[in-house]
Chain A
Amino acid sequence: MTENKGNILQNKSSGLGIRNKLLLWFLIIALIPLVVIGFASYKLSSQALEKQSFDSLESTLVLQKKSLEDYFSERTRNLENLAGDVLMLQQRTFATMAAVRDLKKEQVEIFLRDRLRDVLEFAGSPLQRDVLTGLLSGTSGAAGKKYVSSLKAWAVQRSFSSVLVVSPEGRVIYSSDPVIKKGISLRKIKGTPELTAFQSGKKTATFTDFSLSALRNSEPAAYFSAPVMRGSTVLGVVLCRLDAASLDRIMNEQIGLGKSGESYLVGRDRLFRSNSSFYDETTLASPAYLVDTESVEAAVGGQSGEGVIINYRGEYVLSSYAPVKVAGVDWALLVELDLSVAMTPKSKGTERDYLAEYAYNYGYPDLYLLNPDGYIYYSAKQRADYQTNILSGPFSKSGFADTVRTVLETKKMVVSDYSRYQAAGNKPSAFLAMPLVQNDAVVMIVALQVPIEQISAIMQEHGGKGDTYLVGSDGLWRSESLQPGRYNVKSTLLNEKTKLDTEPVRQALAGHAGTKITVNGLGEKVLSSWKPFNYANLHWAVISEISKQKIDQPVNRLTRIMSMLTVGVLLAAFVISFLASGGITRQIRAIMDVITRVEEGDYSARAKVISSDELGRMASSFNGMIETTQGLIATRQEENDQLQESIMGLLMEISDLAEGDLTVRATVREDATGTVADSLNMMLEELSDTIGNIKKSSEQVGTTANQLSSSTDKLAARSDQQADLITHSVEEIKQMTEAIEQAAEKANTSAVSSEQSRNAALEGTRVVEETSRAMEAIRGNVQDTARAIKRLGESSQEISDFAKTINEISDRTSILALNASIQASAAGEEGRGFAVVAEEIQRLAERAAGSTRQIETLIKNILGDITEAGSSMDASIQEVIQGTALSEDALIKLQDISNRSNEVAVLIDEVSKATSEQAEAAVKVAKAMGAVGVISTDTADETRATSSQMKGMASVTARMLESVAAFKLPQDENEGVVADNDELESLVVSDEGIEG
């Protein structure tokens, strides 16, 4: 009763009441649709907003990428146009310079040609001859003196600085030169231009090029000189000194060259032939000014042309050059113009030049023109890098320098990535550079700096709500962020602090485009869209992103509204559910009270019927059920008392069973114990049978143990026999060992024989070596013979040549005889005697021709024989060489045999050793067999011990039979206990028998 009470209390306390359950279910039913609708609207609106944002981001990205591509394409086109302009400027300048050069060349040539003609006319005039004769003899007279006085004027009119008239001996007989006085001998000082002019002028009209004259205080002088002749006699030499100022005047005319241009003359010795307008001192023929430029090299080599070079002042210039070869003059004419001035024309009234204006209009921070060697000869801004060499100068390790290098390597337009450029105030700078290529060679590079502000402006143009930016392959920003303050920096451009390694950056740099919710550089959750941007050498990532928080704002508002609605609905549902469940549970509670009392054993309790619905009907049925249960409990008590009595009777009947009496049987009644008694009787029957069987089996085991014991004895005897056999085997192994020792001795004998055969092989080697030497000697002899035959052939050829000569002589003799014959015949009767002689000569010539033909035939035969002999000698040499090779081969083989003999000897020695080891092993085997014999004896002893153990087992079996005999079996009652005792004794007797 107490347990029941506990269960009821437990049931009451555990689980919810129906009212509570109903309340709970009502609330759940009200909540589920609300939650489902709320979740669905949140999810759908969130997805719609995300999709809209992604679409917006992607379109922004496409727009900006397109804008960026357009920007770079436009910049490239600009640069191409600019390059075209620059090339056109260069060509125009070259054309102008070539025109100026040709004009000046013509002027110089006409000038020099006229001077030569003047000198020739002067030297060739009869008046001059007369005057000179007079001067020489000192009797020139009044006319002569007058002529002499007009000479100075003549010289000045013809651009000669002075005139010298020199006697054939080299003495100055007339001089208009204030430095060189009349009467001095030019031969006095060697190497002067005056002496050279005199010496060469004595022979013909000559030009003597400028050189420093020791006679004229080391001033440069050049002369036109010519001889004054009377007939073939040289009366004297006229030396006219060239006026250098005249050449300077031609050169210094600056038409078409501007202020920075110049033109000058250079000799083959690379010294000036005119004065440079850039130096105050005299450069003419001055060794201090060496003009060894590419243009001079080309012009002196006879070529005309134009090019960009470094001039004698170390400046980059456009140079136009041509050779001047006239009247014995061999010079180079050069017209040069400063490169930066030539390439950048400036319109009148403008502040900037053409290129600077261009850069200003397009907003380029700087614009450059570079020589292919890297020299920046033009810069619109003229910053620190202007007039430096970008490849080797102070900025050679900049991104700009790398760009120029790439342009020179690829000969193509290159766009460099942004990097900090020191010359631009360490600001991030990118460059667009384009080469001008002519004849597959870069002649100039046009470069411009791309303003980063324009790139950033493009990025911010279509930004919308989000942020769009560019990232380089190094993860650094290539555009300015809209809000750099968010990154705690002033500028995000190339800023290491804002280096990005986000998924969009990695993906875009790897060449993939995509859209995803991810985390940006600030660790914020963002919607990000990205694309790779590739233009020429640029590989950037364009990324457009918008904060997830911004997108989620409307959704979050919706969520808040939904939550409030849910709470209100829940409260309303609770109140309604509470009221409804109260009405339902009153009848249930009345039933529950009655059930509790019944559980406590109070079967008199009845439930009050309150409602007329299913619960009311259930209360009245429950009252009926309690009454039925009361009747059933009284009937069951009587049946229990009867069963108790039957069980007691059965226990009394089977009490003897405990003493091992298996003959007892229980009485089978009709009540519930009847079945138990029947089953017990059947079990006792089966137990009796089993114990009987155990008895029989024990007897059989005893018998078998006895039989096994006798078998083991036999096994012991066999083991003894085995030991005897092993002893016999040991004897035989000893005999085998002796035989192996004999074999070892024979192997030693074989080693001696092998040594003998090795000696024989060595002897053979020596003989073959001698043969080989003999063959070598034969080869020498045969080659000598071949040479002798060749010499014979050459001699025969010489004889053949002689025969040809004889043939020619006989041919000519024949013609001679023929002509003589004709002449004789023409002479008629007078020539008859001569005709006879001619005929005789003819016959002689014919015979000589016949003999020569025979000699030729003979020599041809001899030459044939010699060729044959030569071939057979060659064959002999080949055979001798083959013989030598064979004997060398034989020698190698004999040496091989000798080596093999050595190896055989070693092998035989090893066999001998192995045989000895075998003999030792056989002895060991014999010992081992002996040990096996001992083991066999031990086995026999062990077998005997086993036999005695088997006997022990038989006695154990006898003891087991004794134990089983304690049970009283039904068959024992029939046969009597005596039989059991006999069996036991027989086993004991048998045991004794074995022992005996």
Chain B
Amino acid sequence: MKTEHRDWTRSDKAVVAMSQAKGNGGQDIFFLFTVSQVEEVLSEIPVRGIPFAPDFVEGMCCWRGQIVPVVDIEKRFGFSGREHSSSDRYLVVRTGAADANADALLLHGVFRVSGEVKVIDAGAESDIVFPREIGIEPSLARGTYQQRGYFLIVPDVALILQNEQKTDIL
């Protein structure tokens, strides 16, 4: 079933981050963010480790005077970990809307991705796939799609970061 999905972005542009991780069938995996979700893309950022934090939480960093958590998004989705390399990118993302509830103390977070980051037109057609087909936890993704032989995952940024902020990280 071919469907045009344009509802996951509010603009025509989207930020796509390539991943070294592979799907169950060996397909390439991309993480998709709306332009408004991405605050900045960084090639490097000093990260301080946090004792007793979960494996996917790399630590804390200071971004524009704010302390924000750094999460390895691939590990968060259950893909196997890998070593850091110079091609890694750090995406500074917003947790969601400005109308976050009183608990939402955290407004930003940093995701580490292992591949190239690009700004693309968000108009391409894609098929819906179930998260289980890719092999990820459904609750962490706002949507999972397949396009020209690779998977697209739209992470639930707010859930990932808020959740972490409230339970695991702090």
Contacts and interface: CB of A to CB of B under 8 A. Distances in A.
Decide if A and B are genuine partners: yes
A821 B117 CA distance: 11
Contact of A828 (B11, B15, B118, B119): B11
Interface string A784-827: 00000000000000000000000000011001001101100110
Contact of A825 (B42, B89, B117, B119): B119
A811 B44 CA distance: 11
B42 to A, nearest CB: 7
Contacts of B15: 822
A812 B43 CA distance: 7
A818 B41 contact: yes
Interface string B35-72: 11010111100000000000000000000000000000
A821 B35 CA distance: 9
Contacts of A815: 41-43, 89
B43 A811 contact: yes
A825 B35 contact: yes
Say which size band chain A's interface belongs to. Answer: 10 to 19
B8 to A, nearest CB: 15
Say which size band chain B's interface belongs to. Answer: 10 to 19
Interface in A31-48: none
B61 to A, nearest CB: 16
Contact of A822 (B12, B38, B43, B89): B38
Given A818-B117, A818-B118, A825 B41 contact: no
A852 to B, nearest CB: 14
A822 B41 contact: yes
A496 to B, nearest CB: 89
B43 A825 contact: no
Contacts of B117: 818
Nearest to B11: A825
Nearest to A839: B119
Contacts of A811: 43
Contacts of B118: 818
B41 A826 contact: no
Contact of A826 (B11, B42, B43, B89): B11
Given A825-B13, A825-B119, A826-B11, A819 B35 contact: no
Interface in B86-145: 89, 117-119
Given A825-B13, A826-B11, A826-B35, A819 B41 contact: yes
Contacts of A828: 11
A825 B43 CA distance: 20
A819 B40 contact: yes
B119 A821 contact: yes
Contacts of A826: 11, 35-36
A228 B117 CA distance: 64
A821 B15 CA distance: 10
A884 B15 CA distance: 70
Nearest to A820: B119
Nearest to A816: B41
Nearest to B15: A822
A100 B150 CA distance: 83
B99 to A, nearest CB: 18
B42 A818 contact: no
Contacts of A825: 11-13, 35, 119
A818 B43 CA distance: 11
Nearest to B36: A826
Contacts of B13: 821, 825
A839 to B, nearest CB: 9
A826 B11 CA distance: 8
A818 B35 contact: no
Contacts of B38: 822
Contacts of A812: 43
A226 B58 CA distance: 51
Given A811-B43, A826-B35, A826-B36, A818 B11 contact: no
A612 B43 CA distance: 170
B92 to A, nearest CB: 10
Nearest to A821: B119
B87 to A, nearest CB: 9
Nearest to B39: A822
A575 to B, nearest CB: 139
A822 B42 contact: no
A354 B72 CA distance: 81
Given A811-B43, A812-B43, A815-B41, A822 B119 contact: yes
Interface in A899-931: none
A815 B42 CA distance: 7
Nearest to B89: A815
A818 B40 CA distance: 9
A818 B13 CA distance: 12
A472 to B, nearest CB: 80
A387 to B, nearest CB: 67
Nearest to B43: A815
B153 to A, nearest CB: 19
B157 to A, nearest CB: 15
A871 B15 CA distance: 51
A819 B15 CA distance: 10
Contacts of A819: 40-41
A833 to B, nearest CB: 15
A262 B11 CA distance: 93
A345 B17 CA distance: 89
Nearest to B91: A822
Interface string B144-155: 000000000000
Contacts of B35: 822, 825-826
B43 to A, nearest CB: 5
A806 to B, nearest CB: 15
B148 to A, nearest CB: 21
Q: Which of B11, B12, B13 has the most CB of A within 10 A?
A: B13
Interface in B1-54: 11-13, 15, 35-36, 38, 40-43
B112 to A, nearest CB: 14
Q: Which of A811, A825, A826 has the most CB of B within 10 A?
A: A825
Nearest to B119: A821
Contacts of A821: 13, 119
Interface string A417-443: 000000000000000000000000000
B35 to A, nearest CB: 4
Q: Which of A815, A821, A822, A826 has the most CB of B within 10 A?
A: A822
A154 to B, nearest CB: 53
Contacts of B11: 825-826, 828
Interface string A436-454: 0000000000000000000
A815 B43 CA distance: 7
Nearest to B12: A825
A812 B89 CA distance: 11
A840 to B, nearest CB: 13
A818 B33 CA distance: 14
Nearest to B42: A815
Given A825-B11, A826-B11, A828-B11, A818 B36 contact: no
- Which 6 A-B pairs have CB atoms at the shortest separation, nearest pair first? A825-B13, A825-B35, A821-B119, A826-B35, A818-B41, A815-B43
Interface of B: 11-13, 15, 35-36, 38, 40-43, 89, 117-119
27 contacts: A811-B43, A812-B43, A815-B41, A815-B42, A815-B43, A815-B89, A818-B41, A818-B117, A818-B118, A818-B119, A819-B40, A819-B41, A821-B13, A821-B119, A822-B15, A822-B35, A822-B38, A822-B40, A822-B41, A822-B119, A825-B11, A825-B12, A825-B13, A825-B35, A826-B35, A826-B36, A828-B11
Given A822-B15, A828-B11, 19 more contacts: A811-B43, A812-B43, A815-B41, A815-B42, A815-B43, A818-B117, A819-B40, A821-B13, A821-B119, A822-B35, A822-B38, A822-B40, A822-B119, A825-B11, A825-B12, A825-B13, A825-B119, A826-B11, A826-B36
